[in-house]
Amino acid sequence: MENPLADIDDIEQIPDPAERARQVGDRLARVPEWQERLRKIRQAAVLEMRERKMSFAEIGKELGLHRNRIQQIAEGRPGGGKGAKPGPEASE
């Protein structure tokens, strides 16, 4: 697999600090688009595994994720996030 950070390594080597900063800014502006695309690729992979009759638990074991998270990915739902704050009823 190709080094996903190779582009960053190249940017670090740009001698002109202004150009280096511009290149970083260009990449940062694309992060939301990249995240969305990566989510869709992962979801398609999980759905392909489901088509092969794998359970959420089996897929989770294969990917190192909990079966509930695999189901969320398959449904296109974002994760709850680590450290999510509990609702008001939890503090009572």
Condensed to tens digits (0 to 9), the pLDDT of residues 12-21 reads 999 999 999 9
Geometric angle at alpha carbon 3, from 72 and 63, rounded to 5°: 25
Exposure on the CB side of residue 65, measured as CA atoms within 13 A: 16
Residues 6+ apart with CB under 8 A from 59: 46, 49, 50, 65, 67, 70
Instruction: Label residue 79 by pLDDT band (50, 70, 90).
Output: confident
Query: What is the rounded average pLDDT of the residues 34-51?
Result: 97
